[in-house]
Chain A
Amino acid sequence: MQVPAQVEYEKAASVADTLTLLERYGPVARILAGGHSLIPMMKLRLVHPEVLIDINGLSDLEYITVSPDGSSVSIGALTRHAGLLASDLVGEHFQILSDAERVIADAVVREWGTIGGSLCQADPSEDLSAAFAALKGSMIITGSGGAREVSAREFHTGPYETVVGPAEMLTEIRLPVHSGGRGTGTGSAYVKVSRRAGDWAVGAAGAWVRMAGGQIEDAGIGLAALGATHFVAAEAEEFLAGRDMSEDVLARAGQIAAENCHPPADQRGPADYKKHLAAELTARALRAAVTRARGRTA
């Protein structure tokens, strides 16, 4: 029988209230959102919070909006996975997120699990961490002194660790809408290999590209579960920028991604198999992203 250890419970009424409670209790407190990462971790005694601060009542943190000038999309941290999957705005601009959400956990878990909770859990296999890194997004972290913006590529400091301080909370994810000039188009995609429905990735890759005719102007590549620093295949991105699109170029980008990641061997597979996945999935994600970008050229 798995039950969490004894814990106290507070229900927060607002962001300000949450921050007050975090300051009062200190590092022994943890924010409880959907609970679908935290409660299993508590059952396994992998985390031992003394106080849970329930933020499920903070409905003003559940939103997906586009900025007035159309240059960015903001996602409230309490947005549920199902909300991200159902969003037309997300489907239009960031197909990588729709692809990823279809293979994150299962339909029932996606109804409760939150985007902010997944990111703050900071599991090295977490799909959205890779997808937001590929999209070159940023995180808004709020404390009693105000909010600060951190690149998605600097958000994680290691497995299960982020830059969010003990008296801070993640409140929003912000994604740039990378629209280029006339004749350019953007596209993105996410591909994942897992052992069975709803499982963590054996390996996964997400890609975003901006195409100008046959040229890859800019690219973002995120890798999950593959031991990539900050979830990013930076060397492959550099290789791609400005190159003419070809199958050889995509394959080479995949090889570079594989050469620069360090996946652990575990029950999901040996390291060399995961390196193979890094190469193949990077190429596949790029191919799908390029196809989509060409279909959306302005």
Chain B
Amino acid sequence: MKITVTVNGADYTRDVEPRMLLIHFLRDELGLTGSHWGCDTSNCGSCVAWLDETPVKSCTVLAVMASGRRVMTVEGLAVGGRLDPVQEAFAECHGLQCGFCTPGMMMTARWLLDNNPEPSEAEVREAIAGQVCRCTGYENIVQSVLKASSRTDLR
């Protein structure tokens, strides 16, 4: 069936099977491979993107459910070539090693900070509790999010 999804501000119309998952729509139909396809069971969180203003594990929603809605992926975080404060903080704090979980971590972090600009460490850990990192032991990811929260230019 024909769907139109607004992804990172641009409208995309495609003819898809109703069973197509949003993660495959983003990666295979639109070529947006920033969102990673990980566990396929909504446990690892590497596929987190936003559906409207809310993060979602895009392996667990159908692309047709996003029709007429807005999706934001990690490719939409930087604006005008300038990295988002969350992205800069991950770079500064070494919040990643292999990078597989990073797009999902950053999308959830950005959502957390939009709703709670000064989270405690416990609140950061709760927000990313559904996302798995096999490299960092989470410590540097948490430090990255806290660093981003301290930025005065957090928009």
Contacts and interface: CB of A to CB of B under 8 A. Distances in A.
B30 interface: no
A90 B13 CA distance: 41
B71 to A, nearest CB: 13
A198 B129 contact: yes
B129 A107 contact: yes
A43 B61 CA distance: 12
B17 A109 contact: no
B33 interface: no
Interface residues of B, number: 30
A120 B42 CA distance: 19
Contact of A109 (B18, B57, B62, B65): B57
Given A3-B21, A9-B64, A198-B129, A108 B45 contact: yes
Given A9-B18, A9-B64, A111 B129 contact: no
A108 B108 contact: yes
Interface string A50-87: 00101010000000000000000000000000000000
A249 interface: no
A176 interface: no
Contact of A1 (B20, B40, B42, B56): B40
Contacts of B108: 107-108
A40 B129 CA distance: 19
A25 interface: no
Contacts of A39: 21, 60-62
A267 interface: no
A252 to B, nearest CB: 36
A268 to B, nearest CB: 16
Nearest to A198: B130
Interface in B36-61: 40-43, 45, 48, 51, 54-57, 60-61
B1 interface: yes
B129 A35 contact: no
Interface string A1-22: 1111111110000000000000
Contacts of B126: 107
A35 B130 contact: no
Contacts of A56: 65
A46 interface: no
Contact of A108 (B1, B18, B65, B130): B130
A5 B19 contact: yes
B127 interface: yes
B18 A52 contact: yes
Interface string B102-115: 00000010000000
Interface string B10-43: 0000000111110010000000000000001111
B65 A35 contact: yes
13 contacts: A4-B19, A5-B19, A9-B64, A39-B21, A39-B61, A42-B19, A43-B41, A54-B65, A107-B128, A107-B129, A109-B57, A112-B51, A112-B54
Interface of B: 1, 17-21, 24, 40-43, 45, 48, 51, 54-57, 60-62, 64-65, 108, 126-131
